[in-house]
Amino acid sequence: MWCKQAWVASAMAVACWSASAQGTSADTAAIGYVKTVSGEAFVVTDGKSVAAKPGTPLKVRDTIRTGANASMGITLKDNTVMSFGPATQFVLEEYLFAPAKGDAKLGGRLTSGSLHYVSGLIAKTKPDAVTVKTPTGTIGARGTRFVAVVSQ
């Protein structure tokens, strides 16, 4: 009897650990990667700034920053491509891409600089699921590409 109780307790502990690990994995999983960098550019994750280079992973809530003479290109898991010009700050506010479940969402905030956006599968399958906020309004992706510039 003791052996059975110990086994059940162990199984419950493993199940709880697995559930808590799965709950945090969506927040920490890479949603895309830096593809190109020219000049000084950074990815800020949880307040920690890292020099961007090709292959740098991107996560939900990361901030992308480019210097005065820099640019950066990223590709997300759904093949969305974004290019950022000089002196840009962009936050990847939300990202969900689970095509098997029909779940998709992409949201970002451009506070300065420029963005060239080329639609991936999220915008092509659920156009209403893509938004980019700027200081003066919100852009909804209804086509395959757009350019946004925020001047200081």
Q: How far apart are CA 42 and CA 54, in angstroms?
A: 11
Residue type, 150: V
- How do residues 86-110 score in pLDDT, each as one tens digit? 999 999 999 999 999 989 999 999 9
CA dihedral sign of residues 124, 130, 132, 137 = positive
Each residue's pLDDT tens digit, 112-135: 999 999 999 999 989 889 999 999
Query: 0.85 cut: is pTM over it?
Result: no
| C-alpha Rg value of the chain to the nearest Å | 19
* CA separation for the pair 40, 42 (Å, rounded): 7
